[in-house]
């Protein structure tokens, strides 16, 4: 057996070691490489194309809602962080600092951007003078650095890529409308583009963004039952406006502080995609985000090869014209069987097989990565059949992920019941919470789980706190997380 064939097969089963499975898959699918810098990765083309597709879709949604892109510096003066106390306390443990440049010690330390509220707040104070300048709706695509103690490719790295939206508004009502609008953009994107079902809700005070008045999130469940925070939207009130003097003359010619928001998603979405949809054969990529949606593989003996490849090229051109991301593997150095396994492992949604008999019958064989089912269709209907199957695969992936989440998402009345659930199964628990930090912390200490959010639409409302038994102020989703 060649090394190449072993390469295709060497994936640890999920049930044996989920973390090892994850690392095996992202390396064998050629999504990334480890860099020589601790906690940093190199995005290889297939991995980066996933991010480009995410970026392209979200960018269009941001622009549809009136936002424009800008770019702000990577380096942030230390004094900026001192202006908003809660913000600096929240990020200080993760901040890397630049203290020297050009062989000379800097007069003021510069932080390498962990997030941009401070820098953007400073610039907004210069740009905003009147209510006519509002709302100011800006998004930035950038890299950020947070000195993580424990890292995991895509999900938690020292440097990662993201987008961060920052907006300023005349009043609280408009800023809160923006906060919820962008949260809904994220929900729709996760479910309609990535086929990931999410729980939408508000973070508890201990879990909100440092410096925010309120933080809202979408939470996704991985196949090991852990949560990934797939997107957040923050109402910042006037906290950063006061700190950075973002004032404007209102319609009565009075000075007011702007109300601001921020919201973002990152390359951790790639890790979430892998962990939500992948299986023991490797990646399973949703059609809308897959770098290659269709792989075409000509098969048959050498004497018919030229004719088959000619027809494959014609069908390939039809798909390209229709906007499908398609590739042809007509290489002669690997068997069709090897190619089938290889592209399954890489998560390509549809495989197309065309051989001499298919040529004679005017047919082509389509194989779904999700179900493994083969479907023979007429070449005359080829493009339409592909497009229909891509849509079908997306829905099947969403339904499968939602079914898994529903089967691992229970309601509990006590912390002991929650612990029993975690010992026997894995997933999220819906429980009542009295609102005290002590009870929330006890859940974390005894179970390793944190509050994920207070869901807007819980399946049921709990009346008592799972820890102290007092009346519940909120019904909360608890779960272990990445």
Look up residue 258 and give its DSSP letter.
Answer: P
Distance (Å, rounded) from C-alpha 259 to C-alpha 191?
A: 30
Residue 157: what pLDDT? 96
Average pLDDT on 320-344 reads 96
Tens-place pLDDT, residues 163-206: 999 999 999 999 999 999 999 999 999 999 999 999 999 999 99
Give the pLDDT score at 85.
67
pLDDT at 148: 84
Indicate if the pLDDT at residue 40 is higher than 50.
yes
Query: Does residue 8 surpass a pLDDT of 80?
Result: no
pLDDT above 80 (res 437): yes
Least confidently predicted of 293-297, 354-358, 470-474 = 354-358
> Which H or E run includes 299?
none
pLDDT (0 to 100) of residue 90: 67
> What 8-state DSSP symbol labels residue 170?
S
* Residue 427 in this model has a pLDDT that exceeds 80: yes
Residue 10 has pLDDT above 90, yes or no: no
* Predicted local distance difference test score (pLDDT) of residue 326: 98
Say what the pLDDT of residue 83 is.
Answer: 84
Question: Residue 86: what pLDDT?
Answer: 72
* Average per-residue pLDDT for the chain: 95
Report whether 430 contacts 475 (CB < 8 A): yes
pTM: 0.94
* Confidence check: pLDDT of 351 > 70: yes
Which carries the bigger pLDDT value, residue 178 or residue 211?
178
Write out pLDDT tens, residues 234-260: 999 999 999 999 999 999 999 999 999
Smallest CA-to-CA distance from 286 within 242, 349, 341 is with 349
Q: Can you list the positions of beta strands (E) in 170-276?
A: 199-202, 214-221, 227-237, 247-249, 255-257, 259-266
Residue with tokens 């429980």, as numbered in its chain: 431
Residue pLDDT, tens place only, 127-137:
999 999 999 99
The answer to whether residue 3 scores a pLDDT higher than 70 is no
Compute the distance between CA of residue 379 and CA of residue 342 in angstroms, rounded to an integer: 25
Please, which pLDDT band fits residue 413 given cuts at 50, 70 and 90? very high
DSSP string spanning 62-106?
HHHTT-EE----SEEEHHHHTTSHHHHHHHGGG--EEEEETTEEE
361 pLDDT more than 90: yes
């Amino acid at each position: 057996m060649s090394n190449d064939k072993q390469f295709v097969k060497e994936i640890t089963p999920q049930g044996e070691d989920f973390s090892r499975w994850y690392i095996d898959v992202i390396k064998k699918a050629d999504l990334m490489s480890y860099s020589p810098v601790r906690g940093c990765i190199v995005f290889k083309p297939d991995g980066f194309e996933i991010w480009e597709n995410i970026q392209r879709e979200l960018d269009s949604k941001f622009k549809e809602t009136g936002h424009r892109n800008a770019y702000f510096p990577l380096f942030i003066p230390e004094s900026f962080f001192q202006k908003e106390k809660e913000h600096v306390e929240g990020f200080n443990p993760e901040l890397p600092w630049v203290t020297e440049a050009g062989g000379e010690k800097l007069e003021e330390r510069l932080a390498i951007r962990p997030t941009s509220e401070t820098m953007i707040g400073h610039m907004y104070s210069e740009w905003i003078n009147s209510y006519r300048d509002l709302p100011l709706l800006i998004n930035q695509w950038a890299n950020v650095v947070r000195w993580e103690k424990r890292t995991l490719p895509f999900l938690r790295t020292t440097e990662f890529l993201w987008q961060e939206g920052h907006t300023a508004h005349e009043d609280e009502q408009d800023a809160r409308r923006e906060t919820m609008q962008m949260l809904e953009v994220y929900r729709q994107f996760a479910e309609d583009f990535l086929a990931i079902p999410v729980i939408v809700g508000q973070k508890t005070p201990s879990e909100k963004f440092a410096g925010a008045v309120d933080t809202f999130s979408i939470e996704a469940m991985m196949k090991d039952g852990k949560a990934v925070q797939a997107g957040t939207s923050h109402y910042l009130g006037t906290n950063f406006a006061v700190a950075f003097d973002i004032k404007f003359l209102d319609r009565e010619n009075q000075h007011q502080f702007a109300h601001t928001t921020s919201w973002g998603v990152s390359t951790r979405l790639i890790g979430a995609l892998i962990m939500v949809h992948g299986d023991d054969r490797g990646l399973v990529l949703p059609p809308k985000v897959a770098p290659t949606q269709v792989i075409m593989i000509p098969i048959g003996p050498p004497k018919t090869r030229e004719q088959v490849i000619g027809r494959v090229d014609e069908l390939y051109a039809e798909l390209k014209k229709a906007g499908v991301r398609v590739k042809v593997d007509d290489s002669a150095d690997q068997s069709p069987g090897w190619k089938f396994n290889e592209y399954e492992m890489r998560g390509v949604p549809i495989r197309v097989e065309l051989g001499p008999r298919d040529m004679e019958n005017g047919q082509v064989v389509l194989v779904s990565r999700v179900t493994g089912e083969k479907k023979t269709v007429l070449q005359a209907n080829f493009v339409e059949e592909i497009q229909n199957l891509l849509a079908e695969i997306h829905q099947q992936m969403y339904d499968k992920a939602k079914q898994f989440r529903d089967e691992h998402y229970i309601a509990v009345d006590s912390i002991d019941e929650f612990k029993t659930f975690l010992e026997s199964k894995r997933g999220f628990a819906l429980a009542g919470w009295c609102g005290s930090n002590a009870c929330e912390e006890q859940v974390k200490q005894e179970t390793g789980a944190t509050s994920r959010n207070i869901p807007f639409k819980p399946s049921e409302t709990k009346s008592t706190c799972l820890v102290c038994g007092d009346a519940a102020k909120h019904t909360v989703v608890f779960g272990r997380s990445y």
